[in-house]
Amino acid sequence: MKGQGDAMRDTAPEEGYVTADGRKIGGVAMEMRNITLRFGGVVAIKDISFDIRWGEIRAIIGPNGAGKSSMLNVISGFYHPQEGDVIFKGYKRPKMRPYQVARMGIARTFQNIALFEGMSVLDNIMTGRLHHMKANLFQQALWWGRAQREEDENREQVEKIIDFLEIQHIRKTPVARLPYGLKKRVELARALAAEPSILLLDEPMAGMNVEEKEDMSRFILDVNDEFGTTTVLIEHDMGVVMDLSDRVVVMDYGKKIGDGTPDEVRTNEEVIKAYLGVAHE
């Protein structure tokens, strides 16, 4: 980890703010500074800067191909921007592999469900605990000492999440047999099992019916409320985004065209033009 030691502490965490419903939002957790991401000649993200504060629900919205998922992949360390810096907890983050980012407390869900279909819900969520397990191969194979102890501790944590997300009834069901809405919830459970400080959700409501969306919204709010998890989400459903998030970044063709509270974004003319269409009288 070369960069971390020598990087100067970049930002002093500023004062947070208090939301309308009384949640306390902390200082800056992560800052994107002038990020530019290119794939060959294609520029996916053009010079974008914004910050994410501790405890807030931050949404990234934009039309198809605006670069939202690329942005999320930059945050999760899957893509490395050619220009610009990711400042995490006040330090410039060096180039990292995704698993290293995960160890730093960033977990994610995927737009297309990426679960182990043949495994049970319980086992799938247990995989989220992977980096909390320290037992070596020998101990694991013999099921002895640390391995056994860790399994118990991790199982307890997983059961708490199962309880929290109300999926007790499908604990032992293979994922392949579940309906779509529940699979999404299992994915959220797996991400939560990692006990992340920042949770990235890539289109958590895509393809859901109204009831499933309501459930998922409630869980996202509950997770934020109960564990204080900072949440970054990409979402198409504007109603959901505007209701859920504290602040919204709007992207279009790789550029940032708006940033602020849902109300500010809603009235931003550029946003209306690019994304919401022209306002009708």
Partner 1 sequence: MSSTAVTSQSLDDLTSIPALLARNAKRYGLQTAYREKEFGIWQSWTWAETLAEVRALSLGFLALGMQRGDYVAIIGRNRPALYWSMVAAQSVGAIPVPLYQDAVAEEMAYVLDHCGARFVVCGDQEQVDKVLEVQETVKCIEEILYLDKRGMRKYDHSHMNWLDDVMREGRAAETRLGGELDKRSAALTLDDTCVMLYTSGTTGKPKGVVLSNRNIIVTSKNSSEFDKLRPGDEILAYLPMAWVGDFIFAIGQAYWTGFCVNCPESAQTMLTDLREIGPTYYFAPPRIFETMLTTVMIRMEDASPLKRRLFHHFMEHARKIGPRLLDGKPVGAGDKLKYALGNLLVYGPLKDTLGLRRIRVAYTAGEAIGPEIFDFYRALGINLKQLYGQTEASVFITQQPDGEVRSDTVGVPSPGVEVRIAENGEVFYRSPGTFESYYKNAESTASTKDAEGWVATGDAGFFEEATGHLRIIDRAKDVGKMADGGMFAPKYVENKLKFYPNILEAVVFGNNRDRCVAFINIDLGAVGSWAERNNIAYSSYQELASLKPVLDTIQEHVETVNESVAQDDMLSGCQIHRFLVLHKELDADDGEMTRTRKVRRRIVEEKFNDLIDALYGGKDSIYTETEVTYEDGRKGKLKATLEIRDAKVFGQVAAKVAAE
Residue ranges in contact with partner 1 by CB under 8 A: 22, 122, 155-156, 159-160, 162-164, 166, 168-169, 171, 222, 225-226
Give the nearest distance from C-beta 183 to partner 1 in angstroms: 17
Beta bridge partners of 44: none
Indicate the length of the chain as a whole number. Answer: 281
Comparing CB distances to partner 1, the nearer of 83 and 222 is 222
Q: Residue 74 corresponds to which tokens in the numbers above?
A: 């930059």
Alpha helices of 128-259 — where are they, by DSSP H?
Answer: 137-142, 146-164, 180-193, 210-227, 238-244
Give the nearest distance from C-beta 169 to partner 1 in angstroms: 4
Give the nearest distance from C-beta 120 to partner 1 in angstroms: 12
Q: Residue 207 corresponds to which tokens in the numbers above?
A: 């393809």
| C-alpha span between 240 and 243 (Å, rounded) | 5
Instruction: State the sign of the Cα–Cα–Cα–Cα dihedral 55, 12, 45, 40.
Output: negative
Comparing CB distances to partner 1, the nearer of 225 and 270 is 225
Comparing CB distances to partner 1, the nearer of 173 and 261 is 173
Query: Would you say 234 and 202 are in contact if contact means Cβ atoms under 8 Å apart?
Result: yes
| C-alpha span between 178 and 175 (Å, rounded) | 5
Indicate the DSSP class of residue 276. Answer: I
Comparing CB distances to partner 1, the nearer of 207 and 228 is 228
Comparing CB distances to partner 1, the nearer of 18 and 278 is 18
Give the nearest distance from C-beta 168 to partner 1 in angstroms: 5
Query: Would you say 27 and 53 are in contact if contact means Cβ atoms under 8 Å apart?
Result: yes
Comparing CB distances to partner 1, the nearer of 156 and 281 is 156
| C-alpha span between 97 and 78 (Å, rounded) | 7
Comparing CB distances to partner 1, the nearer of 117 and 225 is 225
Give the nearest distance from C-beta 159 to partner 1 in angstroms: 4
| C-alpha span between 115 and 183 (Å, rounded) | 8
CA distances from 232 to 3, 105, 281 (A): 25, 13, 33
Give the nearest distance from C-beta 200 to partner 1 in angstroms: 24
Give the nearest distance from C-beta 117 to partner 1 in angstroms: 21
Burial of 19: CB neighbours in 10 Å, binned 0-12, 13-18, 19+: middle
Comparing CB distances to partner 1, the nearer of 14 and 163 is 163
Give the nearest distance from C-beta 226 to partner 1 in angstroms: 7
